[in-house]
């Protein structure tokens, strides 16, 4: 893709430059490296919204689905072909996408994140599936792995009948910057 083609997309997701994609070499980036975690590129929104908004020291990141650099993963329903373990992996991937947007919102510096305040998890599932909290733990566990106690947060985990692209999980987040 040419740089001319990439600029509008990058502007929509928070003005990422090359710096935002690779991040800075701070404490949180070192922690990600120690854990062997690579963040995906922050995905452009698929409809009429922005990837995140900033109000004062709060960052609200739009719902992120289980995609890796544009490729949908974990397509299907919990309770009908997708296991709880796979659902947790999908939620973790959603959380990695949250972090990619959060890094952009923080100007490329995840050390600016003071606290993970809230995650909202949506699980594409059959009507009889009731283990949504265990699935969304995949996202919650990642936040605690990366941010320690500052990663502990309030949360909702809700079952839904469908999600964009048929993916198994979507997660949104609210964060505090310092």
Question: What's the pLDDT tens digit per position in 87-119?
Answer: 999 999 999 999 999 999 999 999 999 999 999
Phi and psi, residue 152, nearest 5°: -75, 135
Mean pLDDT, range 121-142, rounded to an integer: 98
E strands, the chain, are: 52-55, 58-65, 67-68, 71-72, 77-78, 81-82, 113-124, 154-160, 169-177
Question: What's the pLDDT tens digit per position in 133-168?
Answer: 999 999 999 999 999 999 999 999 999 999 999 999
Question: What's the pLDDT tens digit per position in 51-68?
Answer: 999 999 999 999 999 999
Domains and CATH numbers, the chain: 3-177 (3.30.1330.40)
Cβ-based neighbours of 139, under 8 Å, separated by 6 or more: 91, 92, 94, 95, 98, 119, 121, 169, 171
Which of 169, 175, 136, 138 has its CA nearest to residue 67?
A: 169
**Cβ atoms < 10 Å from Cβ of 135:** 29
3-state secondary structure at position 73: coil
Q: Band of the pLDDT at 25, cuts 50, 70, 90? A: low
């Amino acid at each position: 893709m040419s740089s001319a083609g990439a600029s509008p997309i990058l502007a929509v997701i928070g003005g990422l430059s090359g710096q935002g994609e690779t991040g800075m070499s701070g404490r949180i980036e070192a922690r990600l490296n120690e854990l062997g975690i690579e963040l995906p590129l922050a995905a452009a929104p698929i409809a009429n919204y922005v990837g995140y908004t900033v109000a004062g020291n709060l960052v609200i990141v739009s719902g992120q689905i289980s995609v890796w650099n544009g490729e949908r993963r974990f397509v299907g329903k919990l309770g009908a072909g997708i296991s709880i373990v796979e659902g947790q992996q999908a939620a973790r991937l959603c959380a990695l996408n949250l972090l990619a947007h959060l890094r952009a919102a923080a100007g490329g510096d995840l050390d600016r994140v003071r606290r993970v305040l809230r995650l909202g998890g949506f699980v594409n599932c059959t009507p009889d599936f009731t283990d949504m909290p265990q699935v969304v733990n995949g996202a919650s566990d990642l936040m605690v792995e990366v941010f320690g106690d500052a990663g502990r947060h309030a949360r909702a985990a809700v079952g839904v009948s469908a999600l964009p692209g048929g993916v198994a999980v979507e997660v949104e987040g609210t964060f505090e910057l310092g």
